[in-house]
Chain A
Amino acid sequence: MLKSQLLAQLLKLLASGLLLISFAMLSRRRTQRLITLFAWQGAILFLSTSLVAWDAGLTELWYSAALTLLLKVMALPWILHRLIQKLGAQWDSEPLVNIPVTMLVGLVLVIFAFGLAQPISMMATTITRHTIGIALAVILLAFLMMITRRKAITQVIGFLAMENGLFFAATSATYGMPMVIELGIALDLLVAVFILGIFFFQIREQFDSLDLHHLESLREE
Chain B
Amino acid sequence: MELLLVLGLPLAGTLLLALLGARRFAAELNVAVSLATLVAAAFLVLRVIRHGSLLVGHDQFFVDPFNVFLVALTAFVGLTTAIFSRPYMRIEQHHGRLNPLRLRLYHSMFQLFMGAMLLALLTNNMGLLWVAMEAATLSTVLLVSLYRTRASLEAAWKYFILCGVGIAQALFGTILLYFAAEQRLGREGMTALLWTHLNAVKAHLEPRVLGLAFVFLLIGYGTKVGLAPLHNWLPDAHAEGPTPVSAVLSGLLLNVALYAVIRCKVLVEGSIGPALPGRMLMTFGLLSAVVAAFFLWRQRDIKRLFGYSSIEHMGIMTFAFGLGGPVANFAGLLHMTVHSLTKSSIFFTAGHASQTAGTQRMDDISGLLGVSPTIGWGLMLGSIAILGMPPFGVFASEFLILTTAMREHPWTTPFLLVAFGVAFAAIFSKVQPMVFGHTEARRLPQSPALVPVFIHLAMVLALGLYIPPVLAEWYRAAARLIG
Contacts and interface: CB of A to CB of B under 8 A. Distances in A.
Interface of A: 116, 119-120, 123-125, 136, 139, 143, 146, 152, 155, 159, 162-163, 166, 169-170, 173-175, 177-178, 180-181, 184-185, 187-188, 191-192, 195-196, 198-199, 202-203, 205-207, 212, 214-218, 220-221
Given A178-B127, A206-B150, A206-B153, A120 B165 contact: no
A95 to B, nearest CB: 21
Given A139-B172, A185-B130, 6 more contacts: A177-B127, A178-B192, A184-B131, A188-B138, A199-B157, A203-B157
Contact of B151 (A205, A212, A218): A218
A168 to B, nearest CB: 10
Given A139-B172, A195-B138, A123 B183 contact: yes
Contact of B206 (A123, A175, A184): A123
Nearest to B167: A188
A218 B168 contact: no
Contact of B187 (A175, A188, A215): A175
Contacts of B125: 180-181
Interface stretch (B8-16, B140-148, B362-370): B140-148
Interface stretch (B22-30, B174-182, B388-396, B454-462): B174-182
Interface string B142-172: 1001001111011111101100110010011
Closest A-B pairs by Cβ, 6 of them: A181-B127, A184-B131, A215-B154, A178-B190, A188-B134, A173-B179
B367 to A, nearest CB: 24
B441 interface: no
Contacts of B209: 119-120, 123
Contacts of B155: 218
Nearest to B189: A178
Contact of A220 (B157, B164, B298): B298
B172 A181 contact: no
A123 B209 CA distance: 9
B302 interface: no
A184 B174 CA distance: 14
A116, A185, A205: most-surrounded residue (chain B CB, <10 A): A185
B128, B148, B171: most-surrounded residue (chain A CB, <10 A): B171
A185 B138 CA distance: 12
B164 A203 contact: no
A49 B176 CA distance: 18
Given A178-B193, A185-B131, A202-B148, A218 B236 contact: yes
Contacts of A124: 179
Contacts of B158: 215, 218
26 contacts: A119-B208, A120-B179, A120-B212, A125-B183, A146-B161, A155-B161, A159-B161, A159-B164, A159-B165, A166-B168, A173-B179, A174-B179, A180-B190, A181-B128, A181-B131, A185-B130, A188-B131, A195-B141, A195-B160, A202-B145, A203-B153, A205-B148, A218-B155, A218-B158, A218-B236, A218-B240
Nearest to B215: A116
A44 to B, nearest CB: 19
Contacts of A166: 168, 171-172, 175
Contacts of B142: 195, 198
Interface string B110-129: 00000000000000010110
Contacts of B179: 120, 124, 173-174
B474 interface: no
Interface of B: 125, 127-128, 130-131, 134-135, 138, 141-142, 145, 148-151, 153-158, 160-161, 164-165, 168, 171-172, 174-176, 178-179, 182-183, 187, 190, 192-193, 206, 208-209, 212, 236, 240, 295, 298, 300
A206 B148 CA distance: 8
A56 B354 CA distance: 61
Contacts of A202: 145, 148, 153
Contacts of B190: 178, 180
Contacts of A162: 165, 168
Given A123-B206, A188-B138, A221 B156 contact: no
A170 B127 CA distance: 12
A196 B157 CA distance: 9
B143 to A, nearest CB: 11
B182 A174 contact: yes
Contact of A184 (B127, B149, B187): B127
Contacts of B156: 199
Nearest to A143: B165
A136 B172 CA distance: 9
Contact of B178 (A155, A177, A187, A218): A177
A188 B160 CA distance: 13
A185 B153 contact: no
Given A143-B165, A159-B165, A196 B150 contact: no
Contacts of B154: 215-218
Given A162-B168, A181-B193, A188-B135, A196 B178 contact: no
Contacts of A155: 161
B138 A173 contact: no
Contacts of A152: 157
Contacts of A199: 141, 145, 153, 156-157, 160
Nearest to A205: B148
Nearest to A139: B172
Contacts of A163: 168
A196 B160 contact: yes
Nearest to A182: B127
Contacts of B182: 174
A207 B190 CA distance: 48
B141 A173 contact: no
A146 B165 CA distance: 9
B232 to A, nearest CB: 9
A175, A215, A221: most-surrounded residue (chain B CB, <10 A): A215
A217 B172 CA distance: 32
A77 B385 CA distance: 51
B138 A192 contact: yes
A181 B201 CA distance: 22
Contacts of B157: 152, 199, 203, 212, 215
Contacts of A188: 131, 134-135, 138
B423 to A, nearest CB: 17
